[in-house]
Amino acid sequence: METTKDLFKTLDQAEKFFEDGSIKKAQKIIRDVSNQIKKVDKMPNKLRHKFNAALAKSRYYDDVSSFAANPKRNELIDSIKDLVNNPSESPKKQANLIHDLQTKWQLLDLSSRPAGREQWQTFNDLTNKAWEPCKEFFDELKEKKINNAIQRKKLIEEMNQFADNNKEKWPEAKTLIKFLNSIFNQWKDYAPVLDKDLKSLRDEYFEARKPFSKEIDRQEKIVIKAKEALISKVEQINDEDNDVCITKFNELKQQWKITGSAGRKNDNKLWDKFNKAADKFFTAKKEDVERDLIVLKNLNSDLEKGEKTPSELKNEIESLTSIKKTKDFFAFIKKIDAYQKNINTQMNIAKVQSFKDLYEVFQGKISSESMNISRAIIAAAENQNNKTDKEKILYLCVKFELVAGLDSLKKDSKIRQAIQFEMLADKFNKGDRDKKIIVEKLLIDFFSNLSPKDAKANEKIWSRICKALDELSNDLF
């Protein structure tokens, strides 16, 4: 039993709860103190005064609570009275409305002082009257529950029949699981049932499942053994070539896919173990990839600095087997091709310039020693004994333009037409089609039919030829 000193402290705690707004907690403490005080032989006046003050405060809050809650209870009584006088056309809706009003009444009892006896009796009597139109609804619900039990019984019979028909040779586990899932989904649809039927139906259902569960478990154990054997095979792979190891692992992975299910829980664990056994291959593969990527980075640097030829770069990337199918590898191949194309372009530009410089060589103004072009063309340009054939050099000029796809002067249209016929005949006779060879022959013919002393007079012709050479630059390498 608590001492008077303890009771003083407890009442102090109640006052603190009142101050904090925790009225229910404070009132509970006061009720406990009231029970303790009854057991005290002689209560000090100071404690009596303190208790009476706390009790008065508790009753005050009860009165305030009742003052606030009673009008709300009266509103609920009016609502249930209206439901009695004007019942809903739908028994189901009527039942839901009654249930809603009862819930609100109970919440008021929880949040404030309970209703008085007279008020509660009025609400309860009206509620019972309001329930009367719902009788048909409950009868209908009962009939539905009985029918649901019949349907569930049929599902149990279906399970038993399936098990009996297949006990000699069961289908594979996934078929059994699919069948059980179908039964269970139908089972859920046939709810609810009467309380008296619930337990017996549930027991029969689980009893009917037992043969299925036993067979599924048997098949899953076989699959577990098969998958454990595959894991063991992965662990035994030990080829020197890591790519061969990965190939063998992938072949075992294909076998894994057709072994069947070992059950969701077992499958996940076995799959993790299977992959973990192969981690060493992919770790080595990753190291190879990282090594090759470093080499590729260095080759990129060599390319950007122009320190290696495209051929050298292509030869070196052949050894980067671990990244041959990666985006980085294909991107580098494209860079090499672009690098080669740029070199070709520069060489063509240089070659075209050399061809243009031939006119200076022809006139004896510069030397041909540094020129990297056909010696036959240079020999023709250095020959000083030529005679000028104006018609021939004009013909060669127009042919240059035609080969380059450039327009000729209007006055040269007849010459152009004649050349077109000649080129068409050459095509049928399988003549030269390589533009590089054609250009070299045209240049040799040009310088072979022009005298150096007439070079100045024919600069316009040469200027037209130079334009054609520019247009043909990509075909000269």
365 and 466 belong to one structural domain:
yes
Band of pLDDT at residue 1, cut at 50, 70 and 90:
very low
Sorted by sequence, the CB contacts under 8 Å of residue 112 that are 6+ apart come out as 65, 66, 68, 69
Share of the chain above pLDDT 70, in %: 91
User: Quick check: is 468 in a domain?
Assistant: yes
217 and 314 belong to one structural domain:
no
365 and 253 belong to one structural domain:
no
- State the Cα–Cα distance between residues 152 and 184, nearest whole angstrom: 10
Q: Examine the pLDDT at 281 and tell me if it is beyond 50.
A: yes
User: Quick check: is 153 in a domain?
Assistant: yes
Band of pLDDT at residue 109, cut at 50, 70 and 90:
low
Band of pLDDT at residue 381, cut at 50, 70 and 90:
confident
If you average pLDDT over residues 96-119, what whole number do you get?
70
Q: How many CA atoms lie within 13 A of 459 on its CB side?
A: 4
214 and 258 belong to one structural domain:
no
Band of pLDDT at residue 211, cut at 50, 70 and 90:
very high
369 and 435 belong to one structural domain:
yes
320 and 351 belong to one structural domain:
no
Residue keyed to tokens 């067979």: 215
String of b and e for 21-43 (b: at least 16 CB within 10 Å)?
eebeebbebbeebeebeeeeeee
84 and 199 belong to one structural domain:
no
If you average pLDDT over residues 113-140, what whole number do you get?
77
Q: Which tokens belong to 312?
A: 């050298």
Output 202 or 99, whichever has higher pLDDT: 202
Band of pLDDT at residue 67, cut at 50, 70 and 90:
very low
Q: Examine the pLDDT at 178 and tell me if it is beyond 70.
A: yes
Sign of CA dihedral 340, 344, 345, 347: positive
String of b and e for 390-423 (b: at least 16 CB within 10 Å)?
eeebbbbbbbbbbbbeeebeeebeebbeebeeee
pLDDT per position as a tens digit, 4-27? 777 778 878 878 876 766 767 777
Sorted by sequence, the CB contacts under 8 Å of residue 419 that are 6+ apart come out as 395, 398, 399, 402
- State the Cα–Cα distance between residues 388 and 246, nearest whole angstrom: 75
pLDDT per position as a tens digit, 411-439? 999 999 988 888 887 776 555 567 888 88
Give the angle subtended at the CA of 236 by the CAs of 231 and 237, to the nearest 5°: 100
Per the CB < 8 A criterion, the answer to whether 219 and 172 are in contact is yes
User: Quick check: is 9 in a domain?
Assistant: yes
If you average pLDDT over residues 152-165, what whole number do you get?
95
Task: Give residue 199's pLDDT.
Answer: 87
Task: Give residue 376's pLDDT.
Answer: 87
Sorted by sequence, the CB contacts under 8 Å of residue 220 that are 6+ apart come out as 173, 261, 262, 263, 266
Task: Give residue 150's pLDDT.
Answer: 95
Q: Which tokens belong to 344?
A: 């070709």
Which residue range forms the structural domain that includes residue 176? Answer: 140-221
- State the Cα–Cα distance between residues 89 and 51, nearest whole angstrom: 56
Task: Give residue 92's pLDDT.
Answer: 77
- State the Cα–Cα distance between residues 292 and 308, nearest whole angstrom: 18
User: Quick check: is 372 in a domain?
Assistant: yes
- Of the listed ranges 46-60, 358-372, 434-448, the one predicted with least confidence: 46-60
User: Quick check: is 262 in a domain?
Assistant: yes
90 and 9 belong to one structural domain:
yes
Cis peptide before 192 (omega within 30 of 0): yes
464 and 384 belong to one structural domain:
yes
Measured distance between the N- and C-terminal CA atoms of the chain, rounded to whole angstroms: 114
If you average pLDDT over residues 251-262, what whole number do you get?
90
Sorted by sequence, the CB contacts under 8 Å of residue 223 that are 6+ apart come out as 173, 259, 260, 261, 262
- Which range of 135-139, 355-359, 467-471 scores highest in mean pLDDT? It is 467-471
76 and 156 belong to one structural domain:
no
Output 137 or 409, whichever has higher pLDDT: 409
- State the Cα–Cα distance between residues 148 and 373, nearest whole angstrom: 100
Helices 91-111 & 117-131 angle (0-180, nearest 10): 160
Q: Which of 272, 306, 332 is the last residue of a domain?
A: 272
- Of the listed ranges 99-108, 161-170, 283-292, the one predicted with least confidence: 99-108
Q: Which tokens belong to 183?
A: 């039964």
Q: Which of 54, 82, 115 is the last residue of a domain?
A: 115
User: Quick check: is 123 in a domain?
Assistant: no
Band of pLDDT at residue 159, cut at 50, 70 and 90:
very high
Secondary structure of residue 432 in the 3-state scheme = coil
Cα–Cα separations (whole angstroms), residue 285 to 234, 242, 288, 320, 326: 16, 7, 5, 12, 13
Please count the structural domains in the chain.
5
- Which range of 27-36, 73-82, 169-178, 299-308 scores highest in mean pLDDT? It is 169-178
User: Quick check: is 134 in a domain?
Assistant: no
197 and 146 belong to one structural domain:
yes
Q: Examine the pLDDT at 124 and tell me if it is beyond 50.
A: yes
Per the CB < 8 A criterion, the answer to whether 76 and 123 are in contact is yes
Burial of residue 434, with CB atoms counted within 10 A of its CB: 0-12 exposed, 13-18 middle, 19 or more buried:
exposed
- Average pLDDT of every residue of the chain: 83
Residue keyed to tokens 């009003």: 101
Per the CB < 8 A criterion, the answer to whether 245 and 281 are in contact is yes
Helices 4-20 & 45-85 angle (0-180, nearest 10): 40
User: Quick check: is 135 in a domain?
Assistant: no
264 and 300 belong to one structural domain:
no
Task: Write down the pTM of the prediction.
Answer: 0.41
Q: Which tokens belong to 244?
A: 């061969």
pLDDT per position as a tens digit, 130-154? 878 777 676 776 788 899 999 999 9
Q: How many CA atoms lie within 13 A of 111 on its CB side?
A: 12
Share of the chain above pLDDT 90, in %: 24
Q: Examine the pLDDT at 391 and tell me if it is beyond 60.
A: yes
Q: Examine the pLDDT at 305 and tell me if it is beyond 50.
A: yes
